[in-house]
Amino acid sequence: MKKMISGEGKKKAKKKKYKKRRQTSSLKKMKQTKLHFPAEHVSFRKWDLRKISVWGIQIVCACLLAFMLVFFFGQRVSNAGDSMRPALHNGDIVLVNRLVYNASKPKRGDVIAFKPNGNENAHYSIKRVVGLPGETVQIKDGAIYIDSKEHVEDIYTFEIETPGIAEDAVKLGEGEYFVMGDNHTSSDDSRMADVGNVKREDIYGKVWFVASFGKNFGWIKD
């Protein structure tokens, strides 16, 4: 009986020893084995780079287009005084189209922004074109005469009390314009010697939109 127990004990001890040896061997292998995590490589394919380039070009083009639209069509100028009432009031912010006169010439009825006598330090003056290059302008009996014919315009329905230098006929040279304010009783314009005829190179652009919120907000009537 003792021998049998002894034999079984030996077998158990042997199994235990073998199991322990296997566990030890496994632990050694685990220690020796280095954990390897494959590095993730972010690779941009050619079409990805092309797509990014296209987006970049589109963004740049959109920015340039926005800049050009603002620069040529949306230059902001403030109106000083009441010489253009009722179309414009003092302090109204207007948008000036700087590109239009590169393709065409100012026409009668246009509202323009210009620097009086080309003085760069002066505030922009905003007036309406009355006389065109080559024409003769005169104000007599409270009315405007262009080339000896009375000029009837809705904005000048009441009598012009101050003809200024236009009391005598004013001949407009090449590239010269005679301008007046709609509210001519309170306007320094081509009737005044210190303003005189406006030269084409001094015209900043055509005033086309009132950007100030209020009664006059919107397109300006030619």
Domain ranges of the chain: 77-219
Residues 199-204: what's their mean pLDDT? Answer: 96
CA-CA-CA-CA torsion sign (207, 176, 108, 215):
positive
Q: What string of DSSP letters covers 58-88? A: HHHHHHHHHHHHHHHH-EEEE--SSTTTTT-
219 bridge partner residues: 209
Q: Which residues of 39-53 are buried (b: 16+ CB within 10 A; e: fewer)?
A: eeeeeeeeeeeeeee
Using one digit for the tens of pLDDT, what is the confidence trace for 142-199? Answer: 999 999 999 877 666 578 999 999 999 999 999 999 999 999 999 999 999 999 999 9
The phi, psi pair for 158, rounded to 5°, reads: -105, 160
Of residues 211 and 7, more confidently modeled? 211
User: Is pLDDT of 44 > 60?
Assistant: no
Count CB neighbours of 87 within 10 A.
20
Res. 3 pLDDT band, cuts 50 70 90 = very low
SS3 120: coil
User: Is pLDDT of 2 > 60?
Assistant: no
Q: What is the pLDDT of residue 57?
A: 79
199 bridge partner residues: 176
Specify which of 28-37, 46-55, 194-203 reaches the highest per-range mean pLDDT: 194-203
Distance CA 221, CA 175 (A): 24
Distance CA 49, CA 37 (A): 28
Residue 173 C-alpha from the chain's centroid: 35
User: Is pLDDT of 14 > 70?
Assistant: no
Residues marked active site are found at 83, 127
Give the CATH number of domain 77-219.
Answer: 2.10.109.10
Residues 125-145: what's their mean pLDDT? Answer: 95
SS3 199: strand
Q: What is the pLDDT of residue 159?
A: 84
Paired tokens of 69: 């639209």
Distance CA 68, CA 122 (A): 25
pTM score over 0.85: no
Res. 5 pLDDT band, cuts 50 70 90 = very low
User: Among 44-58, 70-84, 166-180, which stretch is predicted with the lowest mean pLDDT?
Assistant: 44-58
